[in-house]
Amino acid sequence: MHGTVILDGDGQVLRPAIIWCDQRGEEQCGWLNRTVGARRLLELTCNPALTNFTLIKLLWMREHQPHIWSRVRHVLLPKDYVRFCLSGEYAIDVAEASGTLLLDVAGRRWSQELLGEIGLNAKLLPEVFESPEICARISPQAARLTGLAAGTPIVAGAGDQAAGAVGMGITRPGTVSATIGTSGVVFAATDRPALDPKGRLHTFCHAIPDRWHVMGVTQAAGLSLRWLRDLFSAESGSEPWSYERMTEEAAAAPPGADGALWAPYLMGERAPHMDPNIRAGLVGLAASHTRAHVIRAVMEGVAFSLRDSLTIFSELNVPVEKIRLGGGGARSPVWRQIQANVYSRRVEIIAAEEGAAFGAAILAGVGAGIWAGVDDACDQAIHVAEDIPCQPHVAKLMNQRYRDYQRLYPALHSLHATPAQDKSHA
């Protein structure tokens, strides 16, 4: 999601794509807020200016690489470039387009008003489709290269989070997903654009027509554990540790990690702080702490960060009746139990582990007429494999540790804020 692929008039790529987590556009975020206004941007797109979003990367290129920008005729996101290669068609779905910061999310169309205010030509953008809608077909050239039949229909699809939500059955209000991949995402379907007036969450179109979702993102969720794994492996000079070995070791440490706390801000943070400059912190260490304590603290810190988004859901009256776990974090029994205790709720694991790929297949099936709609497809294809109850005595401790965790961001912000940020928080 949010990646930026730019093409010339012949469909040739002009520069390497800028990926979702790139932070280079902080100055462009400031320019956009001054030019359009932060409040007005929320009204137009339902989202604040963030370095992750596609528009910010385009503004950076326009300012810093004018010799390339002058040749741009088409802007696509990575999966949509794959579709272009397969079909020759320029298209995007409403869920993915929501993350460009160029979509009128409530109206499910490009924001002509925003495009006019920032001087961006609407002709650069692909046509917008609903996710299960057929938008292209396999070209004869792609058929020769791939073995797929020419004319095979291609649905618009969705970005990984919306597709993953479909693959987990997160289609109606009340069921929420908490996914730990490289980033971490808490995702809730809504029947209206549930706008956070403080801009702490993303409000996007869902992959289901006439439905939306709210989403809170932790930048470095599974990335935190990978960073720790690579650090341990580098120190020992050995092969990279397995995640199974790490999580087994974490199970030996008690809940709460004897006071150790991890703030997972290795790449800045999105929800709820929207702060690209904040940095991670591992605090509360004593000589008695072991490697197992540190691993457990990192896993708990990621779960605390995801709980931040659940807290905002409550403020916005977004119902949370069920929580389903996904991503690599859902494969670890230890991390599953940590999440159940941190969220103080029973959590579910579904039978299919393919996540976004499974959701994309469901969307394709709906587009091909195999199912009448996405809800029907999920009712038939999604099955819960396991329930993990929270442990009340541990959940009580986790509530206390979460309050401690909430004190970390202000302390770290005071260390890492730029002078301009300090002034804005005064």
Cα 179–chain centre separation: 9
Q: Which of 93, 104, 160, 308 is catalytic?
A: 160
Which one-letter amino acid corresponds to residue 223? Answer: L
How is 82-105 classified by DSSP, letter by letter?
Answer: HHHHHHS--EEEHHHHHTTT-EET
Who's near 214: CB < 8 A, 6+ residues apart? Answer: 187, 188, 190, 194, 196, 201, 202, 203, 204, 313, 316, 318
Who's near 43: CB < 8 A, 6+ residues apart? Answer: none
DSSP state of 303: H
Element (H, E) at 121: none
Measured CA to CA in angstroms, residue 179 lies from 100, 160, 267, 417 at distances of: 21, 11, 18, 29
Cα 35–chain centre separation: 27
Quote the CA–CA distance of 352 and 13 in Å, as a whole number.
36
How is 261-274 classified by DSSP, letter by letter?
Answer: EEE--BTBB-TTT-
Query: Which of 82, 89, 112, 109 lies closest to 98 in space, CA to CA?
Result: 109
Is the distance from CB of 53 to CB of 32 less than 8 angstroms?
A: no
Is the distance from CB of 142 to CB of 159 less than 8 angstroms?
A: no
Measured CA to CA in angstroms, residue 370 lies from 42, 363, 375, 380 at distances of: 38, 10, 13, 11
**Can 22 be counted among the known catalytic residues?**
no
Q: Which residues pair with 137 in a beta bridge?
A: 153
Sign of CA dihedral 252, 254, 255, 259: negative
DSSP state of 13: B
Query: Which of 48, 49, 57, 52 lies closest to 4 in space, CA to CA?
Result: 57
Quote the CA–CA distance of 87 and 329 in Å, as a whole number.
35
- Active-site residue numbers? 160
